[in-house]
Chains A and B, each alone.
Chain A
Amino acid sequence: MTDVIAPPGTHEPAEVHLPPEAPGNGHEPHGGHEDHGPTGILKWLTSTDHKVIGLSYMITAVAIFYLSGIMALFMRLQLASPHSSLLTFSQFNALFTMHGALMLYLFAGPFAFGGLANYIVPLQVGAPDMAYPRLNALSYWLYLSGSITMLMGFFVAGGAAQFGWVAYAPLSSATSSPGAGPDLFLMGIALTGFSAIFTAVNLCGTIFYLRAPGMTMFRMPIFTWNMLVTGILILIAFPVLTAAVVMLFCDRHFNTHIYTAAGCHLVNGLPMRSCGSPLLWQNLFWFFGHPEVYILALPFFGIVTEILPVFSKKPVFGYKGMVFATMAIAALSTGVWAHHMFTTGAVLLPFFSFLSLLIAVPTGIKFFNWIGTMWHGQLTFTTPMLFSVGFLFAFLMGGVTGIMLASPPIDFATHDTYFVVAHFHQVLFGTAVFAGFAGLYYWYPKMFGRMLRESLGKWHFWLMFIGFWVTFMPQYVVGLLGMPRRVASYPSNLGWQSYNIVSTVGAFIIAISFAFLLVNFVVSWRKPIPAGDNPWDGHTLEWFTTSPPPHHNYTHLPPIRSERPTWDANHPDALTVPHGKGAHSNGKANGKVTASV
C-alpha cells in the first residue's frame, strides 16, 4: 500500500529522543527495511525504498568496477612487453574502450549519485524517502539495462566497440565501426543517460522539498550540498550527451550526416552553415565530458568532507567556503569543455585556458579547508580516514598535472600521450576509488549494522596506496618520453619497457588490495561485529537513526540547530559555535550556545 507519511517527531514535538545506545557500544543488527513489503527477490524487483535502490546501485557498480579492473590488468599485461601477443589489436581496442566506458559511465557516477547519494541524502536531510520513489526505481532499472546493453557488445559478431570511450566521429561512423557492438555501446549510454537525468531530478527534488524543519540550505551536510550541485551538473551535461548519442545513432543508420561533412559544399569559399561536422561531436561530447569529470569528483569531495571532521573531532573548517567553492568548481567546469580539443586548432585557446586555470582557485580553497579541518584536531586514523587522506595526496597530484595541461603549449606536447593517461587516472582513481572506498568503509556500518574489520581495511588501503603510485607515476615519465595512449604494442628501442613493467607491477598490487575488501565483506558477513547506531560518533543526521535505518528512516528526529544535529544531541554539554538565530534561542553561554536538548 501507499504510505502517507507524517513528519518524524510530530507526535512528540517537545520531546527529544537521544539514540538508544551511547556511541560505539552497539547492539545487535536488526532488519531495517527488510521488515516492510515483499521479501526475497520480489523485494529487489519491486522496492521503491531509496535504501534498497541505493544498495542495488552500489552492488551493480562495484561488480562493474571489478570487471573493468580485470580488463585493465589484461591491458597492463599486454603492455609489459613491447610486442606482446597476449591480445590482438582489436581485442586491445575493445578492452580500452570498454574499460573507460564501464569505469566512467557505469561505475564512478552511478556508485556516487545512484548509490551513495540515494542511500545517504534522504537520511541526511531528514526525509522519509526520495521525492519520487518510483522514478528512482525506474532510474535503477534503466541503469541496469543500459549496463547489460553495453556489455552485450562482447557477445555479438564483430565484438564490442573499439573507438574509445569518447566515440569520436568519424571513427564511430557506420563505415569505420560497423556492427552491432558500437550500436549497443551507444544505446547503453542513452539508457544510462536517462537514468542519470531521472536520478538528478530526484536528488534536486528531495533536497529542495523534503528537508526536515530547521534543516536550512546552509545547515545541510556538505555531502548533500555536493550532491545537489552534482545533480545540477547532471541536468546540464547528460541531456547533451544523450541527444548527441541519439544523433550519432541516426548518422549510423538513417543517413543524417550530422557529424560528417558528406554532401557539403563551399559558399563564398567557406563551408555552408548547415553542414555536418565531426568537430560538432567533440563539442557536444566534451560539453558533457568535462562537467562529467566533476560529476564524478564532487560527490567524492563531499564524502571526504564528511569523514575528515568526524575523525578530527572538529566541525568542518570553512563550511560556507566549501559550499561556494563547490559551486564555483561546478560553474567553471561547465565553461571549459574545449580544453580537451586544444589540438584541433578550432577552439578559442585563451578563453578555455583561462577558465581551466581558474578552477585551481576553488579547488585550492577546498584543500585549504580540508587541511584546516584536520589542523589541531584529535585525529584517529581509522580506515575511512586513511582513505580520505590518501585521496588528498592522490587528487593533489592529479590536480597539479591538470593545471599543467590547461596550458596549451604543454597540452600540445603531451596530448594523447601516457602523461594524460596518468593525469586523469590520478584524478579519477584519487576521487572515485580512494574517496569512494572511504565512503564505503564509513557508511557500511550504517547500511548493514555491522562493522568491517579495521586490520583488513588498513591492508587494503596501504596496498592500494602503494600500488597507485607505482602504477601511475611511471606513466607520467613514459608519456613525456613520447609514448602515445591507446597502442597495443610499441618499439623496443625507445626505453619505454621498464616504465611499463613497473606500471604493470603496480596494477597487480592494486588488484591484490581489492581482494582484501572482498575478504572483509565475507568476514563481516560470517562473523558480524554489531555497529550500533553511531559507531564513529558521527555528526550528521543519518547517525541518529538505527543501523540499518527502518523503513522511511526515522521515528523521531533531534532539533536541528547546526550542521551537526546528531553531534549536538549526543554531546549536550559541549559548547558549539552558534549557527543563526535558531541556535541563539537555545541556551546561551558567553556568546556560545549549548547544543539544544
Chain B
Amino acid sequence: MRVEALFLLFLGAFFGIVGLVYWFWSYEDGGSMMLLGVTLLGFLPGLYYFFWHQRFHGRKYFFWGKIPAVGDRPSDREDAEMAEGAGNIDSFPGSSIWPFVMGMGAFLTVLALIFGVWLIFLGVPLILTALTGVTAESRRGGQV
C-alpha cells in the first residue's frame, strides 16, 4: 500500500503546487479549479491508502485506533511466496446479462434526449431492471 499511497500523494502535492503557482500568476478561475480538482483526486485516495498502510503496521492514524500489525500484503512484499495468498481472492461472476441490458438502457435513454421522450419509457425500465437484476445476482451469488 505504501507505493500506491506515495504515488497518489505525489500526484496531489504536484498539482497543489502547480495550481497555486497558476492561480497567483494568472488569477484564472477555470484552470485553477480544475487543478484543485486534480489535487483532491490525488490526496483523497492517497490518504486512504496511507491510512491503511499505517494500520497494517499497527500505527495509530489520527483519531483511529490501532489494530494488530499484520504487515504488508503479500503483493507488497518482494519475498512473498505464492502460498501466502491462500484463501479466496474474490468472487467473479462467470457471466451476466445485466451489463448488456444496462448498456442498452443507457443507449435508449440517451437517444430519448435527441429523438423524443417516448424512448425514455424503453430506456429507463431497462436500466432499473438491470440494476435490480445485478443486485439480486450479487446477493444470491450466481446468475439470476
Q: Are B99 and A583 within 8 A (Cβ)?
A: no
A57 at the interface (CB under 8 A from B): no
Interface residues of B in 71-105 (CB under 8 A from A): 74-100, 102-104
Q: Are B111 and A149 within 8 A (Cβ)?
A: yes
B115 at the interface (CB under 8 A from A): yes
A581 to B28, CA, bound (A): 49
CB distance from B19 to the nearest CB of A (A): 9
Interface residues of B in 1-39 (CB under 8 A from A): 3-4, 7, 10-11, 14-15, 18, 21-22, 25-26, 28, 30-31, 34-35, 38
A36 at the interface (CB under 8 A from B): yes
What residues on B are CB-neighbors of A180 within 8 Å?
114-115
Q: Are A214 and B82 within 8 A (Cβ)?
A: yes
What residues on A are CB-neighbors of B110 within 8 Å?
145, 149, 187, 190-191
What residues on A are CB-neighbors of B114 within 8 Å?
180, 183-184, 187
Among the listed B10, B18, B79, which residue makes an inter-chain contact with A335, where contact means beta carbons less than 8 Å apart?
A: B18
The number of chain A residues touching the other chain, given as a range, is 35 or more
A128 at the interface (CB under 8 A from B): yes
What residues on B are CB-neighbors of A271 within 8 Å?
none
Q: Are B82 and A48 within 8 A (Cβ)?
A: no
What residues on A are CB-neighbors of B22 within 8 Å?
335, 348, 351
Given the interface contacts A2-B92, A149-B107, does A235 sit within 8 Å of B41 by beta carbon? yes
Q: Say what secondary structure dominates the interface of chain B.
A: helix
What residues on A are CB-neighbors of B38 within 8 Å?
236, 334
A351 to B35, CA, bound (A): 14
What residues on B are CB-neighbors of A364 within 8 Å?
none
CB distance from B91 to the nearest CB of A (A): 5
Given the interface contacts A141-B104, A213-B82, does A337 sit within 8 Å of B41 by beta carbon? no
What residues on A are CB-neighbors of B95 within 8 Å?
37-38, 43, 46-49
A283 to B31, CA, bound (A): 7
What residues on B are CB-neighbors of A216 within 8 Å?
3, 75-78
Q: Are A236 and B41 within 8 A (Cβ)?
A: yes
B132 at the interface (CB under 8 A from A): no
Q: Are B88 and A10 within 8 A (Cβ)?
A: no
Q: Are B31 and A215 within 8 A (Cβ)?
A: no
Interface string of A203-221 (1 = CB under 8 A from B): 0000010111111111100
CB distance from A8 to the nearest CB of B (A): 7
Stretch at the interface among A72-80, A130-138, A510-518: A130-138
Given the interface contacts A1-B143, A134-B134, A145-B103, does A581 sit within 8 Å of B94 by beta carbon? no
Q: Are B78 and A331 within 8 A (Cβ)?
A: no
Q: Are A5 and B88 within 8 A (Cβ)?
A: yes
Most B Cβ at <10 Å: residue of A184, A194, A218, A287: A287
A334 to B28, CA, bound (A): 16
Tell me the count of chain B residues lying within 8 A, CB to CB, of chain A.
62
A45 to B104, CA, bound (A): 11
Among the listed B28, B87, B111, B141, which residue makes an inter-chain contact with A2, where contact means beta carbons less than 8 Å apart?
A: B141
What residues on B are CB-neighbors of A144 within 8 Å?
103
Given the interface contacts A1-B142, A10-B82, A145-B107, does A582 sit within 8 Å of B91 by beta carbon? no
A585 to B27, CA, bound (A): 56
What residues on A are CB-neighbors of B99 within 8 Å?
48, 134-138, 140-141
A148 at the interface (CB under 8 A from B): yes
Among the listed A337, A351, A582, which residue makes an inter-chain contact with B77, where contact means beta carbons less than 8 Å apart?
A: A582
CB distance from A16 to the nearest CB of B (A): 9
Given the interface contacts A4-B88, A145-B107, A213-B84, does A348 sit within 8 Å of B78 by beta carbon? no
CB distance from A85 to the nearest CB of B (A): 32
A569 at the interface (CB under 8 A from B): no
A214 to B73, CA, bound (A): 9
A216 to B72, CA, bound (A): 11
CB distance from A221 to the nearest CB of B (A): 14
Q: Are B78 and A6 within 8 A (Cβ)?
A: no
What residues on B are CB-neighbors of A557 within 8 Å?
82
A331 to B35, CA, bound (A): 11
What residues on B are CB-neighbors of A140 within 8 Å?
99, 103
A223 to B82, CA, bound (A): 23
What residues on B are CB-neighbors of A579 within 8 Å?
78
A217 to B77, CA, bound (A): 9
Among the listed A7, A45, A235, which residue makes an inter-chain contact with B89, where contact means beta carbons less than 8 Å apart?
A: A7
A370 at the interface (CB under 8 A from B): no
A232 to B14, CA, bound (A): 14
Given the interface contacts A1-B143, A216-B77, A348-B22, does A552 sit within 8 Å of B92 by beta carbon? yes
Which B residue sits closest to A277, measured CB to CB?
Answer: B30
B113 at the interface (CB under 8 A from A): yes
A472 at the interface (CB under 8 A from B): no
CB distance from A261 to the nearest CB of B (A): 15
Given the interface contacts A10-B82, A134-B98, does A331 sit within 8 Å of B142 by beta carbon? no
What residues on B are CB-neighbors of A191 within 8 Å?
106-107, 110
CB distance from A325 to the nearest CB of B (A): 14
- The 5 A-B pairs with the shortest beta carbon distances in the complex, nearest first, are A141-B103, A13-B83, A213-B74, A582-B78, A582-B79
Contacts A134-B99, A141-B103, A194-B106 known; list 18 others, CB within 8 Å: A2-B94, A4-B88, A13-B83, A37-B94, A38-B95, A45-B97, A48-B92, A129-B92, A133-B92, A145-B106, A180-B114, A183-B114, A214-B75, A214-B82, A217-B4, A235-B41, A582-B77, A582-B78
A residues near B, CB below 8 A? 1-10, 13-14, 36-38, 43, 45-49, 127-129, 131, 133-138, 140-142, 144-145, 148-149, 180, 183-184, 187, 190-191, 194, 208, 210-219, 232, 235-236, 240, 249, 253, 280, 283-284, 287, 327, 331, 334-335, 337-338, 348, 351, 551-552, 557, 559, 561, 579-583, 585
B residues near A, CB below 8 A? 3-4, 7, 10-11, 14-15, 18, 21-22, 25-26, 28, 30-31, 34-35, 38, 41, 49, 74-100, 102-104, 106-107, 110-111, 113-115, 134, 137, 141-143
Q: List 13 A-B contacts (CB under 8 A).
A: A1-B141, A2-B92, A4-B92, A9-B83, A46-B96, A140-B99, A180-B114, A183-B114, A214-B74, A218-B3, A219-B78, A236-B41, A240-B34
